[in-house]
Amino acid sequence: MDIVSAKPTLEERCGIKHHLIDILTVEKEFSAGDFVLEATKALDKIFLKNKRAIIAGGTWFYIKSLLNKEALPECKINKELREELSKSDNNSLWEKLNKLDPKRASLIHPNNKDKVIRSIEMCIELNMPISEYKRKENPEYDVCYLMPDIERDVLYERINKRVDEMIELGLEEEWQRNKEKYPDNKILYSTIGYKEFFDKELYNGKKEIIEKIKQHTRNFAKRQLTYFRSNKEIVPLKNADEIIGKAEKFYEKDNK
């Protein structure tokens, strides 16, 4: 999924060690808990060299799960249970979760089927409501959260350009290869940039498919911006120079 995920190229990675790239295929389930385990190993290696780490990405739940003082409960993925639960409709699943853990259910919309199923799975694995689980302590990190706060029209223009570049690089061909290699894989069907090709009968030709990819990416970015801007932990900065300057000041403070 190199193109659709905008994975950093080898040229972009030159000179800077990147971690957790090319570590699994779409066949393997990878939860926030799995991410925390792998990312913690990478951080330990970095700190042993007396280096600082930059954690880059837009999935806030994964980042907070890693850096939060309270660790996530460790729950194995139960494929058989997930397959069985996925046969039920959204409301039935939510009601099941509500019986197992009303507090947890109140935080999740019934239409968020994957999250509801994962919550049910965790309740069953822990044999108790997740909301009552006493979390163990994570390593405590000194963290500075930074985000590029780009004007919305500029961001949307960059998104549109990026999608055009993805098409030129062979996005449709990558989708075709993965569709044939991993038939019926739900990750492919839910990924912006792939799902529009799966739904191509809804659109009037390839040009409209590309426009839908741009639209869905802009919608996703808008939701992220709204959340990040409302989060007081995150410092919004306007350009790369501001971000580098803020990071350098944080590093100097950390060294004192």
The predicted-structure confidence for 146-165, as pLDDT tens digits, reads as follows 988 888 899 999 999 999 99
Residue range 61-73: mean pLDDT, rounded: 78
Residue range 51-59: mean pLDDT, rounded: 85
Q: How far is CA 41 from CA 37, 66, 68, 136, in A?
A: 7, 11, 16, 17
When mean pLDDT is compared over 28-32, 33-37, 129-133, 207-211, the highest value belongs to: 207-211
The confidence score (pLDDT) of residue 137 equals 67
170: left (phi over 0), alpha (psi -120 to 50) or beta: left
For the chain, give every domain's residue range.
79-132, 144-255
pLDDT for 99 beyond 70? yes
Of 115, 188, 240, nearest to 199 by C-alpha is 188
Residue range 52-78: mean pLDDT, rounded: 80
Q: What percent of the chain has pLDDT over 70?
A: 95
The confidence score (pLDDT) of residue 133 equals 81
Tell whether pTM > 0.85: no
pLDDT for 221 beyond 70? yes
Residue range 30-37: mean pLDDT, rounded: 84
3-class DSSP assignment, residue 70:
strand
The confidence score (pLDDT) of residue 70 equals 65
The confidence score (pLDDT) of residue 255 equals 63
The confidence score (pLDDT) of residue 72 equals 67
The CATH fold assigned to 144-255 is Helix Hairpins (1.10.287)
3-class DSSP assignment, residue 76:
coil
136 or 125, higher pLDDT:
125
CA distance 219 to 232: 22
The confidence score (pLDDT) of residue 226 equals 86
Residue 90 binned pLDDT confidence (cut-offs 50, 70, 90): very high
pLDDT for 126 beyond 90? no
Residue range 54-68: mean pLDDT, rounded: 84
Of 87, 96, 99, nearest to 116 by C-alpha is 96
Residue 172 binned pLDDT confidence (cut-offs 50, 70, 90): very high
The confidence score (pLDDT) of residue 45 equals 93
Residues 19 and 57 sit within 8 Å (Cβ to Cβ): no
The confidence score (pLDDT) of residue 165 equals 95
First to last CA, the chain: 42
Residue 5 tokens, joined = 């995920």
CA distance 228 to 22: 27
CA distance 37 to 132: 22
